[in-house]
Structure 1
Amino acid sequence: MKKTLSLVAILAAGTSQAAGFQIDTQGARATGAGGAATAWLEDSSSIYYNVANMVGVKTLDITLGDTGILPSITFQRPGQEQEGQRTTLSPPPHLFVVYKPFEKAAFGVGVYTPFGARSRWEEGFSGRFRGYESSLATYYINPSFAYELHPRFRFGAGLDIARATIELTRGLDFVNSEGSIHLGGADWGSGFNIGVQAKLLDNLDMGLHYRSAIDISFKGKADFQNIPVEFQSRLTDQTATADVVLPSTVTAGLAYRPLPNLLLAFDASWVDWSTFSELAIRFENPSIDNPVPKRWHAKWKYALGAEYGVTDALQVRAGFVYDPSPSPNSTLTPDLPDANRIKATLGVGYQFRPFRADLGYQFVALADKVSTAPGIPATYSGSAHVFGLTLGFNPQ
């Protein structure tokens, strides 16, 4: 009997806040406005949204926050009862610091989690032999630089240093008994990001931001448990490795101010999920290797956002996002459940100089997605609540 452990099972993002296993809520201010921040956001979280906009900081800006992601996803095979995941709160934090020692140049560093999620199916889940419990976390350290080439044009660039960790538990079916496998691993990778921002008109700005793909070569240990005697010679504890590419992204945005205290913004983001075509774990014993096709597609994501200044100190925000799933129905399985996402967002911010506080909320609706994967057809659906809090400091 050949037992397979696909890399996609390890990633098992479950109901990640964004499609695939992306986390795009790296600041509560942007979250409240639907994440449509590429053309206008000028606090230190611009290191994530568009590094060129760091130049908008006066002298020093610090933001520190956390995002609570509370997902719920269901799985239903034809003619069977609905099954679900155990409630799991994922709290990816973010920290950004920008210092502007010169009139036209700014330096900064960000620490955040742009990819990752946790997935824990209920006890006795019927798809536990494809995926049961898993987690992925990526921690980016992003030193950055931005320069104002012209009063109407800015440029920025940064280095992405990534640390990725994975952990997986899944069942193994031996017909007359069940075993399990636990696997953990980690590795470093690196990439870069660049951005530009231009003032097209006095009340119309444009932003463009690119973040490169990052190759990660996981190295870890596979621990097999409750293995029948006849399989123990093959399914022994051993080392395992795998390669994964965290996708590149390109985002273009516009920001329009019809009134001095009203901002309207639109972002379109291209995420290159096509790197997930056929990936698998490579075990120390190659006879149990078996790559599993996924054939993910690159996708466009669209976001609309608005910010209104009620007073000089109080702002309110709202947004809407359409975020399609990169997974084709024919390869959708419980190891990496996914669906098209529609998000509605709200936010509020208050400034009490030199401090500020921002709250952001997303409701994420996962549209029904019918899998035609061989051996495990099912309908996936669900929702998620996302709560963000970011505190800021700016002495000016």
Structure 2
Amino acid sequence: MKKTLSLVAMLAAGTSQAAGFQIDTHSARATGMGGTATAALDDSSAVYYNAANILGVKKLDITLGDTGILPSITFQRVGGEQEGQKTTLSPPPHFFVAYKPFQKLAVGVGVYTPFGARSRWEDGFSGRFRGNESSLATYYINPTIAYELHERFRFGVGLDIARATIELTRGLDFVNSEGSIHLGGADWGSGFNVGVQATVLENLKFGLHYRSAIQINFDGKADFQNIPAEFQSRLKDQSARADVVLPSTVTAGLSYSPMDRLLLAFDASWVDWSTFSELAIRFDDSSIDNPLPKRWHAKWKYALGAEYGVTPALNVRAGFVYDPSPSPNNTLTPDLPDANRIKATLGLGYAFNPFRADLGYQFVALVDKDSTAPGIPGTYSGSAHVFGLTLGFSPQ
């Protein structure tokens, strides 16, 4: 079976806060620590970060929050002026519940958006014939169960049920006039995740989490507008088909507490973007298919984080992340702008039992990335501000 991200890749448009179109900010506490949550996070948001860690809840834990992603991406064509995107705020929410009916068993469920982005290039953008406006959202429903096999070893597993919604508008160049094509639709897919946590020493923990790829066989509609009469027999409204592969991930993490109230953490995450070999939409009329090579590479992401308890109720956090782009320079085009990301994070948490509130901030710098793609070479760069708020409830 051909592996392609097709419409999902086209719709990503590079405005996610993580490389490719991944979103990994599903807990303001984790966001403040650079996402280093695989080994130590012990609340219900562990449903996403490491299924084994929901055993860290005392009895019941509920978290609810939202993340505001405010990106700014620019493109400077060789010999041309710098162009940018319209300001667009993306607010992926998150919701988690974990319940521990027995000392060695916990169950939970999460609803969140691990992949997604929104993008709107400015009017008259020179690359509008590759991509103009786009949006992608993947909503995961993730039931989870975890069991303590040994006092030093925990195991968790979950089911990923994904709903993907996608929409795209791009221009069509007819030399003497311009038309447009609008594509949209939705579909379901499923996968799984597995996690373990081990207490290596009293103050040192190790976590490992795997989340499978999910394939979505997408069927949607293509709407053509302002098509000249001589092209209307071919460029007419019709069905569009594609295979969607959301990448698998493997994350390993360590957490270390060298002194009371101080936690240090490190995560390394491998994302298998290599499933994205081309960007392709298959129309009813196969003569207008135009698959484009992408040849993305699997990449490692690295993060460091720290949390310090100023008082029993107040925690401060900080982190640093290096997140490289999976796109080769020679296939980097405006439909999927991307760049290596360097992130600095800060966070604050306050508990007032049985409630708590966490704030997380992330500054994302998109390092200049040169494209040598045929027809539209140039440089992509930009930045993003990410604001997270998570409210928690955990009765004693």
Same fold (TM over 0.5): yes
Report the CA distance shift for 1:6/1:114 in structure 2 as closer, same or farther (over 3 A): closer
Runs of 5+ unmatched residues, structure 1: none
Q: What amino acid is the match of 2:201? A: L
Deviations 1:317-369 (A, max 9, x none): 00000000000000000000000000000000000000000000000000000
Query: Could you tell me the TM-score, scaled by structure 1's length?
Result: 0.98
Match of 1:302 in 2: 302
User: Aligned equivalents of 1:290 and 1:358: distance in 2?
Assistant: 46
Q: What amino acid is the match of 1:85? A: Q
Match of 1:171 in 2: 171
Match of 1:242 in 2: 242
Q: CA deviation at 1:385?
A: 0.0
Deviations 1:208-261 (A, max 9, x none): 000000001111110000000000000000011110110000000000000120
Runs of 5+ unmatched residues, structure 2: none
User: Aligned equivalents of 2:9 and 2:230: distance in 1?
Assistant: 25
User: Aligned equivalents of 1:304 and 1:361: distance in 2?
Assistant: 15
Query: Could you tell me the TM-score, scaled by structure 2's length?
Result: 0.98
Report the CA distance shift for 1:55/1:195 in structure 2 as closer, same or farther (over 3 A): same
Match of 1:42 in 2: 42
Contact 2:297 2:327 in 1 (8 A): yes
Match of 1:317 in 2: 317
Q: CA deviation at 1:80?
A: 1.2
Match of 1:145 in 2: 145
Match of 1:75 in 2: 75
Q: CA deviation at 1:12?
A: 3.0
Match of 2:25 in 1: 25
Aligned pairs for 1:240-389 (under 5 A) are 240-389=240-389
Q: CA deviation at 1:6?
A: 5.8
Match of 2:99 in 1: 99
Q: CA deviation at 1:11?
A: 2.3
Contact 1:14 1:117 in 2 (8 A): yes
Report the CA distance shift for 1:8/1:190 in structure 2 as closer, same or farther (over 3 A): closer
Match of 2:121 in 1: 121
Which secondary structure state, in structure 2, belongs to the residue aligned with residue 47 of structure 1?
helix
User: Aligned equivalents of 2:261 and 2:8: distance in 1?
Assistant: 46
Q: Does 1:54 align with 2:25?
A: no
Match of 1:228 in 2: 228
Q: Tell me the percent identity.
A: 85
User: Aligned equivalents of 2:178 and 2:37: distance in 1?
Assistant: 49
Which secondary structure state, in structure 1, belongs to the residue aligned with residue 383 of structure 2?
strand
User: Aligned equivalents of 2:9 and 2:56: distance in 1?
Assistant: 42
Contact 2:6 2:242 in 1 (8 A): no
Q: What amino acid is the match of 1:170? A: R
Match of 2:391 in 1: 391
Aligned length: 392
Q: CA deviation at 1:286?
A: 1.0
Q: What amino acid is the match of 2:308? A: Y
- Greater mean deviation of Cα atoms: 212-221 or 361-370: 212-221
User: Aligned equivalents of 1:296 and 1:229: distance in 2?
Assistant: 38
Deviations 1:20-44 (A, max 9, x none): 0000000000000000110000000
Deviations 1:90-134 (A, max 9, x none): 000000000111111000000000000001000000100000000
Q: What amino acid is the match of 1:91? A: P
Runs of 4 or more above 4 Å deviation = none
Q: CA RMSD in A?
A: 1.0
